[in-house]
């Protein structure tokens, strides 16, 4: 290795002291956040909340201090269908109901993976990944479908929020501590040649306790409920003694079976027009696996545009940690010039960002509009789930260039893929558990 010398530091120090740009940056950064100093107002002004294609949707929701964005985004898509059918002004599905069963199923999925890998050392990369990931709030579209199809749905006013559902860090920490203790127990049992039946019996005892803990955090989900609502005309309705599954069958039916996950991952290991799954990524043992169809950006956008033009919102996943201004409610790479401020080379392609761990999907939201100029999108309207205090009462806008760089996944109806829909039926290529397309929103 080549050492840094005093001569080098002396030369660089002189250059820094003689640079007016560095001195101005030093003054600005001494009292102001870096993102605020690099903010480019002239570009941000272009992020208007005006769109040539716009779907009228309800007031935004609030996931509070939890990572349930994927469930909020998915239920925000479904509630529009239900509200339209029932002529409702406002409506929410219970995200807590879905989160409860996702957590419980995820515990079983984790313990099944522990049993399956019990013969490998703890520092094996796959075992280490399973242990470090544990159970948390994030998820993907197919994982939502797994829970909804198995357990059903219910309105939020039937099963609402508790302190633990709205602020999940403490609950998750306790649960993951318990799961590591369970993992240690199961691995020791496997090492002492316990039978599969003995391991499964022990796992069920663990799950019994975890079920009780989750019920304490959320309250136990109701098995039946009365669906009560008042329509736009002020007329009261009630459907008595519905089960969550009957509610799902009545108001969703086979709709989710027509939706597929498309991704834009321009990396050499993921050829376009192929499907992919991710090893050991899921939530329901024996359920539907995660599956993505990788498309070039033009065709990825094309499917989304066609669905929006048909008046249907789109669930999508992106990296919201890049080039955003939360109060104004914008994401736009042109509204920040950190290179000019810092003097550093910050240009990273989407391909390099995925390969080198710079960027990956970390938040799911809903696209509800787009502005099209000369046949091409310029900005997109986004329904977020961070409450109504920021942006346009909780609605955000992103530029098309930000969309190209940081949007990775969308859930679209097959009909809007056209001839590409048949590609989704291809046998998926399996990716390793730590692949960036396996990150959870």
Q: Which pairs from 176-183 meet CB under 8 Å and 24+ separation?
A: 176/134, 176/135, 176/136, 178/206, 178/209, 178/210, 178/213, 179/107, 179/110, 179/111, 179/134, 179/135, 180/131, 180/134, 182/111, 182/114, 182/206, 183/110, 183/111, 183/114, 183/131
- 292, 362, 384, 398: which one is catalytic? 384
pTM of the full structure: 0.97
| pLDDT the model gives residue 180 | 98
- Domain 53-438: give its CATH architecture: Alpha-Beta Complex (3.90)
User: Is-catalytic flag, 69?
Assistant: yes
In this prediction, residue 231 has a pLDDT band, given cuts at 50, 70 and 90, of very high
| pLDDT the model gives residue 1 | 95
Residues ≥6 apart with Cβ < 8 Å to 296: 264, 266, 272
Mean pLDDT value across residues 149-167: 98
- 107, 146, 172, 363: which one is catalytic? 363
In this prediction, residue 188 has a pLDDT band, given cuts at 50, 70 and 90, of very high
What is the average pLDDT score of the chain?
98
In this prediction, residue 396 has a pLDDT band, given cuts at 50, 70 and 90, of very high
| pLDDT the model gives residue 117 | 98
In this prediction, residue 45 has a pLDDT band, given cuts at 50, 70 and 90, of very high
pLDDT per position as a tens digit, 244-283: 999 999 999 999 999 999 999 999 999 999 999 999 999 9
Domain ranges of the chain: 53-438
| pLDDT the model gives residue 416 | 98
| pLDDT the model gives residue 290 | 97
| pLDDT the model gives residue 370 | 98
| pLDDT the model gives residue 49 | 96
- 69, 107, 182, 217: which one is catalytic? 69
DSSP 39-107: B-HHHHTT--S--SEE-------B--BS--HHHHHHHHHHHHHHHHHHT-SS--B-HHHHHHHHHHHHH
């Amino acid at each position: 290795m080549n050492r840094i010398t005093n001569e080098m530091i002396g030369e660089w120090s002189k250059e820094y002291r003689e640079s007016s740009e560095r001195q101005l940056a030093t003054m600005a950064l001494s009292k102001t956040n870096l993102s605020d100093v690099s903010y480019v107002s002239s570009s941000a002004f272009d992020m208007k909340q005006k769109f040539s294609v716009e779907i009228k949707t309800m007031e935004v929701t609030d996931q509070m201090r939890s990572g349930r964005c994927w469930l909020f985004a998915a239920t925000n898509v479904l509630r529009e269908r239900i509200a339209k059918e029932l002529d409702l002004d406002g409506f929410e599905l219970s995200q807590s109901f879905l989160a409860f069963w996702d957590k419980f199923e995820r515990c079983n999925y984790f313990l099944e993976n522990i049993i399956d890998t019990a013969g490998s050392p703890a520092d094996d990369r796959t075992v280490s990944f399973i242990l470090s990931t544990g159970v948390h709030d994030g998820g993907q579209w197919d994982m939502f479908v797994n829970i909804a199809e198995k357990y059903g749905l219910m309105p939020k006013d039937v099963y609402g929020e508790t302190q633990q559902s709205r602020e999940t860090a403490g609950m998750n920490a306790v649960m993951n501590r318990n799961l590591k203790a369970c993992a240690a127990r199961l691995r020791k049992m496997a090492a002492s040649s316990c039978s599969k039946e003995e391991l499964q019996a022990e796992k069920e005892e663990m799950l019994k306790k975890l079920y009780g803990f989750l019920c304490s955090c959320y309250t136990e989900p109701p098995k039946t409920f009365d669906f009560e609502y008042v329509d736009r005309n002020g007329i009261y309705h009630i459907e008595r003694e519905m089960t969550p599954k009957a509610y799902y069958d009545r108001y969703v039916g086979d709709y989710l079976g027509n939706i597929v996950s498309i991704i834009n991952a321009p990396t050499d290991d993921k050829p376009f027009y192929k499907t992919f799954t991710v090893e050991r990524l899921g939530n329901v043992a024996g359920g539907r696996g995660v599956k993505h169809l990788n498309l070039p950006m033009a065709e990825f956008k094309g499917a989304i545009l066609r669905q929006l033009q048909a008046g249907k919102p789109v669930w999508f996943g992106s990296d919201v940690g890049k080039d955003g201004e939360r109060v104004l409610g914008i994401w736009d790479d042109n509204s920040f010039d950190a290179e000019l401020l810092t003097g550093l080379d910050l240009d990273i392609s989407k391909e390099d960002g995925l390969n080198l761990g710079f960027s990956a999907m970390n938040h799911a939201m809903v696209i509800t509009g787009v502005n099209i100029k000369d046949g091409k999108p310029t900005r997109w309207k986004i329904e977020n789930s961070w409450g109504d205090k920021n942006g346009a009462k909780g609605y955000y806008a992103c530029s098309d260039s930000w969309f190209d760089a940081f949007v990775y996944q969308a859930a679209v109806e097959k009909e809007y893929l056209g001839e590409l829909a048949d590609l989704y039926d291809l046998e998926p290529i399996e990716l390793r558990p730590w692949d960036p397309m396996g990150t959870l929103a």
